[in-house]
Amino acid sequence: MTWEDPEQKLSAVVRQDANGRLQARVHCGNYVLVNRAAVSIGLAGTISDAFIHRSIPLKTPEPDGCSGTADFGPLADLMNQLGPQVRIIAFLALDPSETS
C-alpha cells in the first residue's frame, strides 16, 4: 500500500516483508525535518472501528530528505484485527519546539 502528499513532500509505503511482518517506510523530501518531525501512520480496517497506529520519527538523513521505518507486526494478526481491506491514514507531526 502507498500513500502520498506531494504538497508536503511526504510518502509512505506499507508492505509485507519476507518474514510475514508488515513494515512501513515513510519518506519526506524536506531534509530540514530530520530529527524534528514524525509521520503518524494508522491502518484502519473494514470489520470494526479498530485501527493500529505507529508514530515514525524522521530520523534517517537521505540525500533527498529524510525517512523512518516502523514494524506493524505479523500481517496475519493485523488481518484478524482489521479485516482483509485496510486503509492508510497519515499525519505529519512536528516537534513543538521547532515550530515557534
Check if the beta carbon of residue 19 is closer than 8 Å to that of residue 75: no
22 has a pLDDT exceeding 80: yes
46 has a pLDDT exceeding 90: no
Establish how many alpha carbons lie within 13 A of residue 89's alpha carbon, considering only the half-sphere containing its beta carbon: 9
19 pLDDT band, cuts 50/70/90, is very high
- pTM for the whole structure: 0.85
Dihedral of CA 65/88/86/75: which sign?
A: positive
Check if the beta carbon of residue 72 is closer than 8 Å to that of residue 19: no
Ramachandran category for residue 83: left, alpha or beta (phi over 0 → left; psi -120 to 50 → alpha): left
The pLDDT of residue 98 is: 56
